[in-house]
Amino acid sequence: MKTVVILSDSHGRRKNVEKLFPLFAENDYVIHLGDGSADVRDFSRENPQKCLVMKGNCDFSYGMDEYVLETEGVRILCCHGHKYGVKSGLSRLVSHAKECGCDVALYGHTHRADICEEDGVLCVNPGSLGDFFSPSYCYLVLHEKKATPTIVPLQ
């Protein structure tokens, strides 16, 4: 079993990110899906084996465009989502995930937390950790080829 903390769109609200540092330490992976990628830069440098950082449309130098993580028999596409037009629907994201052989697509950009399945691909948006009114992240459990996401409001 592997556990993953997924966050996105922190937009410089480091205090919200720092609240999650104890959680980061006890999980197998931390994935930042962009727009505020620098907010986890120090953690990523100290923990390169467990931290994956994507570049969003507001990030200019730090992070990867996308990444495919394979663990526990699950292939996961990690991206910000803006290049796939996720504000207008998930069809392009799902199509790309399928091309990459992925079972799960993680994305941000919309600032709206969502978990849905489309055309056999589990799509997960953790919401915006930088949101002033309802910041959230996702806790993902991977076990025996199964992915179980939970959206968690930041306390």
**Using only C-alpha atoms, what is the Rg of the chain?**
14
State the CATH architecture for 2-153: 4-Layer Sandwich (3.60)
Beta strand ranges found along 40-82 (DSSP E): 51-53, 66-71, 74-79
pLDDT, tens digit only, all 155 positions of the chain: 999 999 999 999 999 999 999 999 999 999 999 999 999 999 999 999 999 999 999 998 889 999 999 999 999 999 999 999 999 999 999 999 999 999 999 999 999 999 999 999 999 999 999 999 999 999 999 999 999 999 999 98
Residue 61: predicted pLDDT: 83
At residue 53, the 3 state secondary structure works out as strand
Residue type, 55: K
Residue 103: predicted pLDDT: 97
Residue 155: predicted pLDDT: 84
- Give the list of residues 6+ apart from residue 59 with CB closer than 8 angstroms, or none: 34, 35, 36, 37, 38
CB distance 49 to 78 below 8 Å: no
Residue type, 97: A
At residue 107, the 3 state secondary structure works out as coil
Q: How far apart are CA 127 and CA 153, in angstroms?
A: 9
Please report, for the chain, the start and end positions of each structural domain, with discontinuous segments joined by +. Answer: 2-153
At residue 89, the 3 state secondary structure works out as coil
Residue 112: predicted pLDDT: 97
Q: Which residue has the tokens 């055309």?
A: 119
Closest listed residue to residue 93, CA positions, set 28, 22, 83: 83
Question: Cα 23 from chain centroid?
Answer: 15
pTM score, two decimals? 0.97
Look up residue 90 and give its two tokens: 């998930």
- Give the list of residues 6+ apart from residue 72 with CB closer than 8 angstroms, or none: 1, 2, 142, 143, 144, 145
